[in-house]
Structure 1
Amino acid sequence: MNRREACIAMLPTLVSPRILLAQVVGRMARIGFLVEPALDAPLQRAVVESLREGLRELGYIEGRNISIDFRSADGKYERLPALATELMLLKPDLLVTAYPTAALVAKDATRTLPVVAVCVDNPVLMGLAATFARPGGNFTGVGSWAHEIVSKRLQVMRELVPNARRLGILFNPLAVVGGLDSPIVEWERTLGIPIQQYKSTSPDDFEGAFAAMARDGVGGLVVLADSNTYTHRVRLNQLCLQRRMPSVWGGRDWLMGGALASYQSDFPHMFRRSATLIDKILKGTKPGDIPFEQSNKLELVIDTRAARALGITVPKTLLLSADHVIE
């Protein structure tokens, strides 16, 4: 082997894997991104910019060696299947989904394209993975806590309104796989208080749900995060004030002056972390061989504006344990 041949042979050990990827593929890597809620300013910061930040840290620059095609259903669940099909026609190298509904639509849309599902509750229960450690199919991702985090929100609600005789949960059945019947039995046993379910798939259900809560004597409400509650969070915050209903939510961007608190996984951290999984797939690892990760960063936010408006004194223990207090 002459000197030139020896130098060429050494290139794979000297050149960055990202540069090698660009040389082998011969084009920019293409990512499709599917989400149900509108990508407004808060979600742009928490989701889009966090994802881009994570990718930049790994050497991926949009327009240089990667492109991202974003598709949002603007809060309309029925638009998701057509948007998934639209993304598939662009022939991306992989698909990223945000939140459970988009992941479930992607599951129906493809069995072969690699998918990184971010902020899903339980990928095994949702049918996205055989196990967390060995997903086995075309999905991997970063999971949020499902029933465990709802249990914690109920505990926070109990601390905020210790005299409540009944608690309620407002949720979208389209976004909760398997329903809540079974876990509610355990939560009731743990907290020693009845818990009532209230379903809402659109804002048309809000007035009826709050009227039912009043009839049922609900003294505190946990609102589960989904596109419906996010898109119409201002209206729901107003209803909480009008009905004088203390509430705990699933994300700090849902707190608009009428919601008392939020306890949720750190969304920006999860989307930054998802860039690592994208990187592995683009370098050739099969998604089924990449373990689903579990969010390990949780955030408690207390909104004292709502507490004052509702005449509630937030226990000092909660204020001291909060990651952020909105004054």
Structure 2
Amino acid sequence: MKRCLFFVAVLLVLGTFPAAYAAKPVIAISQFVEHPALDAVLKGFQDELKDNGIDVNYKIYNAQGNVGTTYQIATQIVGEKPDMIVAIATPSAQACVKQYEKYPDLKGIPMLFSAITDPLAAGLVSNYEKPGGDVSGVSNQMPMGKHLDMMQRFMPDLKNVGVIYNRGEMNSVSSIRRLKKAAKERGMTIVETSVTNSSEVQQAAMSLIGNVDALFIPTDNTVVSAMEVVVKVCRRTQTPLFVADTDSVTRGAIAALGFDYYLHGRQTGAMAIRILNGERVGDMPVEFQEKLDFHVFPAAAQKMGVTLSQTLIDAADTVH
């Protein structure tokens, strides 16, 4: 009899385990590429849910910087019908949004984007205050003039700034357009070159050397994923390198004024919790991260022929 009861108990446990597993919300995450900033967004998102006692199942996909793969991932996510979609970086978000246009039965599945420079230009939402539909999220857009002002603190006579970006990333196209406008207002010139993948970054960097006073890398996922290559070129040619991504400072850039992408992810996670608690994503305004951090790396600056004043070092939020 005891033996029989034992088997009944085992069957009950086995029978209820899949149901319990299935009861957890499923969140599908599409990330464009692996690099420290986007990885920090993902970790921040997951930590926010975990720290608030939200238990979910994740299905995480990474396109490894290939735009075509983002659409394959989006198609796969559609077939899985998750409870929520989270897209990290503009190409992944655009691919997912296209699925809403193609498959009406996706309506009602909320989607959050994160680390998106220009959600309007990317076609993700039509209104920041009340997006409507099934999409909202957190943008990392900031006034581009602040980057130029930061660079001039190091190089007061700065006139020509070289920029490398992927023309296929809408976030970067928007950033460069705004950067040029800010540069013109300051009597500066932006010398640009574009790449289609990370293997072209080294040649792009070399093409700018000798024609610019310094290089600036925006939050372009393709170029940031190959940051070490840019650092090597700048060290070899003694060309100052500045970035918009604070995580790239530890990889060898002189300085950055930007966001803490881990907190960016946590902010996105807080929105996800509100949705899981019943709030409609279409009623949630697009959020922007307000706090900017100033990072400097004196040793990296010396390797590029720049000596930082103590005043600049003391002004930094983080010194590497």
The bucket for the TM-score relative to the shorter chain is 0.7 to 0.9
Distance 1:154 1:181 in 2: 12
| C-alpha displacement of 1:106 | 1.2
2:251 aligned with 1:245, yes or no?
Answer: no
2:21 aligned with 1:31, yes or no?
Answer: no
Deviations 1:143-190 (A, max 9, x none): 1124x1x32122222222223331122211222345466434432233
Corresponding residue of 2:104: none
Distance 2:67 2:177 in 1: 26
User: Could you state the TM-score of these two structures normalised by the residue count of structure 1?
Assistant: 0.82
2:275 aligned with 1:296, yes or no?
Answer: no
Task: Give structure 2 stretches of 5+ with no counterpart.
Answer: 1-18, 102-106
Distance 1:169 1:41 in 2: 20
| C-alpha displacement of 1:60 | 0.6
**For 1:305-324, what aligned pairs fall within 5 Å after superposition?**
305-324=299-318
Distance 1:107 1:114 in 2: 11
2:129 aligned with 1:133, yes or no?
Answer: yes
Structure 1 residues 274 and 182: alpha-carbon distance in aligned structure 2, compared to 1, 3 A threshold:
closer
Corresponding residue of 1:48: 42
Distance 1:233 1:304 in 2: 18
Write the letter of the residue equivalent to 2:122.
M
Structure 1 residues 315 and 145: alpha-carbon distance in aligned structure 2, compared to 1, 3 A threshold:
farther
| C-alpha displacement of 1:256 | 4.9
Query: Do the aligned residues in 1 keep the contact of 2:242 with 2:255 (CA within 8 Å)?
Result: yes
Query: Do the aligned residues in 2 keep the contact of 1:140 with 1:290 (CA within 8 Å)?
Result: yes
**For 1:145-294, what aligned pairs fall within 5 Å after superposition?**
145-146=141-142, 148=143, 150-177=144-171, 179=174, 182-215=177-210, 217-256=211-250, 258-294=252-288
Query: Do the aligned residues in 1 keep the contact of 2:28 with 2:86 (CA within 8 Å)?
Result: yes
| C-alpha displacement of 1:72 | 0.6
Corresponding residue of 1:110: 100
Corresponding residue of 2:61: 71
Farther-moved stretch of structure 1 (268-277 vs 124-133) = 124-133
Write the letter of the residue equivalent to 2:282.
G
Deviations 1:52-78 (A, max 9, x none): 2210233212xxxx1111001123232
Number of matched pairs: 294
| C-alpha displacement of 1:102 | 1.2
| C-alpha displacement of 1:264 | 1.5
RMSD: 2.4
Deviations 1:282-302 (A, max 9, x none): 233221111111111222211
Deviations 1:201-238 (A, max 9, x none): 223433442343235x2001110123312321111211
Corresponding residue of 1:17: none
**Paired residue secondary structure (1:95):** strand
Task: Give structure 1 stretches of 5+ with no counterpart.
Answer: 1-22
Farther-moved stretch of structure 1 (312-321 vs 90-99) = 312-321
2:138 aligned with 1:142, yes or no?
Answer: yes
Deviations 1:10-42 (A, max 9, x none): xxxxxxxxxxxxx9xx8111100000112x677
Farther-moved stretch of structure 1 (92-101 vs 162-171) = 162-171
Distance 1:181 1:67 in 2: 38
Q: 1:58 aligns with which of 52, 58, 61?
A: 52
Structure 1 residues 79 and 254: alpha-carbon distance in aligned structure 2, compared to 1, 3 A threshold:
same
Distance 2:283 2:155 in 1: 45
Structure 1 residues 121 and 184: alpha-carbon distance in aligned structure 2, compared to 1, 3 A threshold:
closer
Distance 1:299 1:261 in 2: 10
